[in-house]
Structure 1
Amino acid sequence: MSDPHAELLPLREATYSFEVVRKGYHRDQVAEAIERLDADLRVTMADRDAAASRASDLAAQLSALHQEMEALRRKAASAGAPTFENMGERISHMLRLAEEEAAEVRRRAAEEADAIRERITAEENASVQRQAQAGADADRVLAEARHEAEQIAAKAQARADELVTKAQERVAQLDVDSQARRTKIEEDFEIAQRARRTEAARLEDEREKASTAAAERRVADATARAAALVTAAQEEAAAVRRVRDELAARLHEVRSLLGRLPSLADAQPAGPTAPAAGSAEGTPEDGEPVDGEPVEKPAEGTAGAPADEAQDAADEQAPSTQAVPAAPTGPAPSGAAPSGPAPSAAAPSGPAQGSTAASAAPSRPPLQRPTPRPAAAPGPATAVQPAVRSVPTGSQPAQGGDTRRS
C-alpha cells in the first residue's frame, strides 16, 4: 500500500503571510477564521490517520488469516484423506462429525475471511474515498481560504487605496485651508502693521505738532521777552538820552552863564568907591565872610589873567559838581521816569547882572573857581565879580554838609 500521508497536502507546514495595512478587516477575526479552518483540517487529517491505522490493523489480521489458511492447506495436503474402514463404527462416526465440524469451521472461517476481506476492502476504499474527500476538502478549504484571503487583501487594498485617496484629498484640503489661513493671517498682520504704522505716524505727527507748538510758544515767549528787553532797552536808552540831553543842556547853560560872567582879567581895583558899590550890590566887604566862609581876595598878579583860563576852569569843575543820575539796572515799565533826583529847571538865558546872577546860582551846579594864593597887598573885592561859594542843589549836597542825601 502507498503512504496515505504523501497524498495529502502538508497544511500544517503552510504559512500565511498577509500584508498589514492601516485599515481593513480586523486582524483577530481573520486569524480566528484561519485557525478554525486549520482546526477543521486537523480533525479531517486525524480521521484520515485513524482510518489508515484501522486499515493497517485489518490488513495485518487479513495477512495472519492468509498465513493460517496457507498453513492449514499445506497440512491438509500432506496428511492425505483419512480412511475409516479399519476403525470402529463409533470412531468413524466421531471422525465424520469432526470432519463435518472442521469443514463447517473452514467454511465459517472462509466466510469470515471473505467478510473481513470485503470489509477491509470497503474500509480501504472508504479510507481512500475519505482521503480523497479530505484532500478535496483541504483543497476546497485552502482555495476558499486563499480566495477569502485574496478577497480580504483586495478589500484591504481597496480600503487602503480609498483611505490613501481620502488622506490625499484631506491633505490637499488642509493645504488649501492652511494657505487660506496663512493668507488671512498675513492680511491681518499687514492690517495690524498698517494700523501700527498709522498710529505711529499719528503719534509722530502729534509729537511733531506738540514740538512745533512748544517751539512756537518758546519762540513767542523769547520774542516777547526780546521785545520787552528791546522796549526796556529803548526806554533805558531814551532815559539815558534824556539825561544826556538834560546834562548837555545844563552844561550848555553853565557854559553860557560862565560866558556871561565878567572875566577876571577885566576886574580892576575900584579904590574907595568899591566898598560903596559892593555895599550897594549887597556883597560883603573886604575880608568879611559870606555865610560864615571867608572870601579870598584875588591876587594882584591874577588881575590880568585871560578870560579863557577861567572859562576852562569852570568847564572842568562844572561836570564834577553836577550829580549824574544812575542808569536804570533793569527793564523799566513804559512811561516810568528814571530813578534819581529830578533835574533842576533850566535857568533863563540872558545877561546875568547883579542880583539876577546871584538868584540863579542855587538852581545851577556849584561852581568851583580856582583859589589863588592871597597876595601880599590885598585889595578890595570888586563890585562886578561877586564871591563864589558852594551852594547846595537838589542833586549835589553842599560841601561840608550832610552827605547822606542822594
Structure 2
Amino acid sequence: MGSVDDRDLLPMRSTFDTVRRGYDCAQVDYQLEQLRADLQIAVTDRNAGAAQAAEVARTLEAARAEIDDLCAQIKRLAAPPTTVEGMSERVVRMLRTAQSEVAEIHVKATAAAAATRAEAEREADKLRARYEQMIGEAQRRRTAMEAEHQRAIADAQRRAEEILALAKRRAEQLAAESAARRQQTEEDFDITMSARRRDATRELAHEEASSKAEAKRRVDEATDVARRLVTEADQTAVARVQEATRRVEALRTVRRQLTGQLQSVSSKLDEAMQRLEPDPIEDDALAGEQPARG
C-alpha cells in the first residue's frame, strides 16, 4: 500500500468571520475540532495498519528465506553421491525421510505464507476501506461545514443589512423628533424669555422706584444731618468767636495794665538813676583828698 502524506489527509483550518448575529462560533469550532480529531484517528489507524502490513511482509520474507534454505538443503541431499560405494541403506532412508520432512515443511510454509499474505491483504483492504470511508466522511463533513458557513455568512449579511436599514430608519426618526423637539424648545424658550423679560422689566422698575425712594430718603436724611451739623457748627463758631473776643478784650485790658505799670516802673527807674548820678563838686573834693592821704 502506497504511503500518503499526512498533510493530504487533514483539511485546511477553516476560519469563520465574526459577525453580530449568526451561528455560535463555539459550536462551529467544536465541530471543526471533532472533525480534525476524527481525521487524526484515521491517520493513526492508517499508520498502525501500514506498520502491521510491514511486519507481515517481513514475516513473509523470513518464511521465504527459510523455505529457500530448506530447498537448498534438499537439493544438496538429493544430489547423487560421488561414488556408489558411498551410498548405504541408512543414507537412503535418511534422504527419504529428509525429503518427506522438507516436502511437508515446504507445504506448511507455503500454506502459512499464503495465509499470512491473505490475512495481510485482508487487513490492508479493511484498513484501506476504513480509511477511505473516514476520508469520505471527513470530506462530507467539511463540505457540510463549508455550506453551513456560507449559509451563516449569508444569514449574517442579511441580518446586518436589516439592522442597518432599521438603524437608518431609526436615525431618521430620531432626527425628525430631535428637529421637532428643537423647534418646540426654541418656541418655548422664546415664550419663556419674553415672560422673563417682562418680569425682569417689572422687577427693574420696582427696584428702580425703590432705589429712588431709598436715595431720596437718604438724601433727606443727609440734608437734615448736614443742616444740623451746620447749625451746630455755626453755634460753635459764634461761641468760639465770642470767647475769642472776650479773651482779646481781657488781653487788651492786661496789656493796658502792663503798659501803665511799665510806664510807672520806667518813671521810677528814671528817678532812681537820677538819684544815683554823682555830684561833680563832690567828685573834685574827693579827688583832692586822696593824694594828701598818700
TM-score bracket, normalised by the shorter chain, equals 0.5 to 0.7
In structure 2, how many angstroms separate the alpha carbons of the residues matched to 1:8 and 1:107? 43
Q: 2:35 aligns with which of 37, 40, 49?
A: 37
What's the secondary structure of 1:20's corresponding residue? coil
Residue 14 of structure 2 is matched in structure 1 by 16
Cα 1:70/1:96, change in 2 over 3 Å: closer
Greater relative contact order structure (CA < 8 Å, 6+ sep)? 2
Q: For the Cα contact (< 8 Å) 1:24–1:155, is it kept in 2?
A: yes
With normalisation by structure 1, the TM-score equals 0.44
Structure 1 residue runs without a partner (length 5+): 215-406
* RMSD of equivalent CA atoms: 3.4
Question: Does 2:88 match 1:80?
Answer: no
In structure 1, how many angstroms separate the alpha carbons of the residues matched to 2:67 and 2:172? 90
Residue 123 of structure 1 is matched in structure 2 by 123
Alignment of 1:55-204 (within 5 A): 55-80=53-78, 86-88=87-89, 96-200=96-200
Amino acid at match of 1:72: L
Q: For the Cα contact (< 8 Å) 1:4–1:131, is it kept in 2?
A: no
Cα 1:181/1:46, change in 2 over 3 Å: farther
Amino acid at match of 1:27: C
What's the secondary structure of 1:8's corresponding residue? helix
In structure 2, how many angstroms separate the alpha carbons of the residues matched to 1:95 and 1:166? 103
In structure 1, how many angstroms separate the alpha carbons of the residues matched to 2:201 and 2:95? 148
Write out per-residue CA displacement over residues 204-256 of structure 1, whole angstroms, 9 at most, x where no aligned residue. 78889x79xx9xxxxxxxxxxxxxxxxxxxxxxxxxxxxxxxxxxxxxxxxxx
How far apart are residue 193 of structure 1 and its match?
2.0
In structure 1, how many angstroms separate the alpha carbons of the residues matched to 2:7 and 2:40? 15
Q: 1:53 aligns with which of 47, 51, 54?
A: 51
In structure 1, how many angstroms separate the alpha carbons of the residues matched to 2:125 and 2:176? 73
Cα 1:64/1:184, change in 2 over 3 Å: farther
What's the secondary structure of 1:23's corresponding residue? coil
In structure 2, how many angstroms separate the alpha carbons of the residues matched to 1:177 and 1:32? 47
How far apart are residue 172 of structure 1 and its match?
2.6
In structure 2, how many angstroms separate the alpha carbons of the residues matched to 1:162 and 1:175? 20
Alignment of 1:3-402 (within 5 A): 3-5=3-5, 8-11=8-11, 14-80=12-78, 86-88=87-89, 96-200=96-200
Choose 189-198 or 105-114, whichever is displaced more. 189-198
How far apart are residue 37 of structure 1 and its match?
1.7
How far apart are residue 115 of structure 1 and its match?
0.8
In structure 1, how many angstroms separate the alpha carbons of the residues matched to 2:91 and 2:76? 22
How far apart are residue 119 of structure 1 and its match?
1.4
Cα 1:126/1:189, change in 2 over 3 Å: same
Write out per-residue CA displacement over residues 127-176 of structure 1, whole angstroms, 9 at most, x where no aligned residue. 33233223222322222222222223223333333333333333233323
How far apart are residue 49 of structure 1 and its match?
1.6
Cα 1:16/1:6, change in 2 over 3 Å: closer
How far apart are residue 203 of structure 1 and its match?
5.5
In structure 2, how many angstroms separate the alpha carbons of the residues matched to 1:126 and 1:7? 22
Structure 2 residue runs without a partner (length 5+): 214-294
Cα 1:164/1:110, change in 2 over 3 Å: same
With normalisation by structure 2, the TM-score equals 0.58
Cα 1:52/1:160, change in 2 over 3 Å: farther
Aligned length: 208
Amino acid at match of 2:28: V
Q: For the Cα contact (< 8 Å) 1:8–1:135, is it kept in 2?
A: no
What's the secondary structure of 2:62's corresponding residue? helix
Amino acid at match of 2:51: S
Cα 1:51/1:162, change in 2 over 3 Å: farther
How far apart are residue 114 of structure 1 and its match?
0.6
Q: For the Cα contact (< 8 Å) 2:67–2:106, is it kept in 1?
A: no
Residue 286 of structure 2 is matched in structure 1 by none
How far apart are residue 32 of structure 1 and its match?
1.9
In structure 1, how many angstroms separate the alpha carbons of the residues matched to 2:144 and 2:65? 48
How far apart are residue 93 of structure 1 and its match?
5.3
How far apart are residue 6 of structure 1 and its match?
6.1
In structure 1, how many angstroms separate the alpha carbons of the residues matched to 2:137 and 2:80? 60
Structure showing greater Rg: 1
How far apart are residue 53 of structure 1 and its match?
1.6
How far apart are residue 198 of structure 1 and its match?
4.0
What's the secondary structure of 1:100's corresponding residue? helix
Cα 1:183/1:75, change in 2 over 3 Å: farther
Cα 1:130/1:80, change in 2 over 3 Å: same
Cα 1:66/1:23, change in 2 over 3 Å: same
Amino acid at match of 1:181: R
